[in-house]
């Protein structure tokens, strides 16, 4: 388990936040779903096992509301991959509280926390944590997660959430499984972010890779 993390912000302020591991699967051309936004299985069995082990090693798993609406993931650790699985919490970033009441993350199989800006009084099977302001600021969400005991967080997407973490340089490790497919440019990219128009605007990272079955696993450090 990693030590407590103090993240140095650009303005030189230290915050206490969980250790953040981003994980997703993409095609060779950097797409994470079909052009309709519909989920397609890009991970092979070896990668699924790795993902479930990773899920089992964290305190919480985060997605954006876009992923809940398009894929309806349950975000639990599956017993077919991990013996005696734990029950990491499930975190959804949902500023307008759009989550459907029948979403699988509300099925009670693990603790679920929704971060929102909405004051709507909805009875759903989750803890609602209301933040202030016009946007859900990642730094504030991460500090709040730390304050409630989340020390190790896995971020599973989708494109907008990954883009936000990249833009704010708010991650410690990233795993990308590259599947042996091309999907095409109309499909959702790995990360929605400002497109670099100058070399200095590109986000430079360090990476290592290994084969995982018929795909490649990248491990990226900011």
Ligand X SMILES: NC(=O)c1ccc[n+]([C@@H]2O[C@H](COP(=O)([O-])OP(=O)(O)OC[C@H]3O[C@@H](n4cnc5c(N)ncnc54)[C@H](OP(=O)(O)O)[C@@H]3O)[C@@H](O)[C@H]2O)c1
Q: 1 vs 114, which CB is nearer to ligand X?
A: 114
CA atoms of 11 and 209, how far apart (whole Å): 33
CB 148, CB 125: distance < 8 Å = no
Residue 44 in the binding site for ligand X (CB under 6 A): no
**x-or-dash pattern for ligand X, window 54-93, by CB under 6 A?**
---------xxxxx--xx---------------------x
Per CB under 6 A, 118 contacts ligand X: no
Query: Which of these segments, 3-11, 37-45, 102-110, 197-205, binds ligand X (CB under 6 A)?
Result: 37-45
**Least separation, in Å, of the C-beta of 38 and ligand X?**
7
Using DSSP, state whether 79 is helix, strand or coil.
coil
Q: Which helix (H) or strand (E) holds 21?
A: strand 19-26
Distance of CA 82 to the CA centre of its chain: 20
Output the smallest distance, CB 139 to ligand X, in A.
10
| Full DSSP string of 165-210 | HHHTT--SEEEEEEPS----TTSPBS---PPPSSGGGS---EEEEE
Binding positions for ligand X, rule: CB under 6 A: 24-25, 32-33, 37, 39, 42, 63-67, 70-71, 93-96, 98, 136, 138, 156-161, 164, 188, 192
């Amino acid at each position: 388990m990693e030590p407590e993390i103090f993240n140095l912000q650009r303005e030189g302020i230290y915050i206490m936040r969980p250790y953040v591991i981003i994980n997703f699967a993409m095609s060779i051309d950097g797409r994470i779903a079909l052009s309709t936004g519909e989920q397609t299985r890009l991970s092979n069995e070896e990668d699924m096992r790795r993902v479930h082990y990773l899920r089992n090693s964290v305190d919480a798993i985060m997605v954006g509301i876009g992923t809940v609406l398009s894929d309806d993931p349950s975000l639990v650790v599956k017993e077919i991959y991990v013996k005696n699985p734990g029950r990491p919490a499930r975190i959804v970033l949902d500023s307008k509280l759009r989550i459907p009441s029948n979403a699988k993350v509300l099925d009670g199989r693990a603790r679920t926390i929704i971060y929102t800006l909405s004051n709507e009084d909805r009875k759903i099977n989750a803890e609602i944590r209301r933040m202030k302001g016009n946007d859900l600021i990642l730094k504030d969400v991460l500090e709040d997660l730390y304050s409630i005991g989340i020390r190790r967080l896995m971020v599973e997407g989708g494109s907008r959430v990954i883009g936000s973490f990249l833009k704010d340089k708010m991650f410690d490790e990233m795993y990308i499984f590259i599947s042996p497919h091309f999907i095409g440019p109309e499909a959702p990219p790995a990360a929605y972010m400002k497109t670099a128009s100058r070399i200095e605007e590109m986000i430079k990272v360090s990476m290592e890779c290994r084969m995982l079955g018929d795909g490649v696993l990248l491990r990226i450090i900011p």
